[in-house]
C-alpha cells in the first residue's frame, strides 16, 4: 500500500537510538525518551497560499530531520510505526558534512 500525505504534511520514520544508560543503570524501554530525529518517507504537494498558489515544501523524501518532542501523530502503516506531521513541526534538516 502506498500513502501520500496531503498538503503540507510529511510522513517520518523515527530513527532508533542506541540503548541509554545513566551511571551504568540500564533504563527500561518504557522510561526512555523517544528520539526526535527521523527520515522523511513521503511528503505532500505543498500548502496553498492566500492567493491560491501552491507553495512547495522545503523537505523531501529521504531527508533526515529533527522535530519537536510532542510533534506529529503516530500511525501504523504496513506493520511499521511512523509519524505524520505538518512541515511546521520540522525544526531542521540534517545535511551531510561536506569535505573542504
Average pLDDT, the chain: 80
Check pLDDT > 70 for residue 72.
Answer: yes
pLDDT tens-digit readout, 20-42: 444 556 656 554 555 588 899 99
Check pLDDT > 60 for residue 59.
Answer: yes
9-16+33-94 CATH fold: 10 Kd Chaperonin, Protein Cpn10; Chain O (2.30.33)
Pairing of the two strands 64-67 and 37-43? antiparallel
pLDDT computed for residue 30 by the predictor: 56
With CA atoms as reference, report the closest residue to 64 among 98, 35, 99: 35
With CA atoms as reference, report the closest residue to 80 among 13, 20, 33: 13
Which of 3-7, 16-20, 83-87, 96-100 has the lowest average pLDDT?
Answer: 16-20
Where exactly are the structural domains of the chain? 9-16+33-94
**Residue 23, Ramachandran bin (φ over 0: left; ψ between -120 and 50: alpha; else beta):** left
Q: What is the rounded distance in angstroms from the CA atom of residue 24 to the CA atom of residue 14?
A: 26
Taking the whole predicted model, whether its pTM rises above 0.95 is answered as no
Considering only residues 12 and 28, tell me which one the structure prediction assigns the higher pLDDT.
12
Amino acid at each position: 500500500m502506498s500513502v501520500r500525505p496531503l498538503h503540507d504534511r510529511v510522513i517520518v520514520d523515527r530513527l532508533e537510538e542506541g540503548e541509554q544508560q545513566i551511571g551504568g543503570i540500564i533504563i527500561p524501554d518504557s522510561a526512555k525518551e523517544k528520539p526526535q530525529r527521523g527520515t522523511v518517507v513521503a511528503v505532500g504537494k505543498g500548502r496553498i497560499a492566500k492567493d491560491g498558489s501552491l507553495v512547495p515544501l522545503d523537505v523531501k523524501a529521504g531527508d533526515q530531520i529533527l522535530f519537536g518532542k510532542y510533534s506529529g501523530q503516530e500511525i501504523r502503516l504496513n506493520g511499521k510505526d511512523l509519524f505524520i506531521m505538518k512541515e511546521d513541526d520540522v525544526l531542521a534538516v540534517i545535511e551531510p558534512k561536506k569535505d573542504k
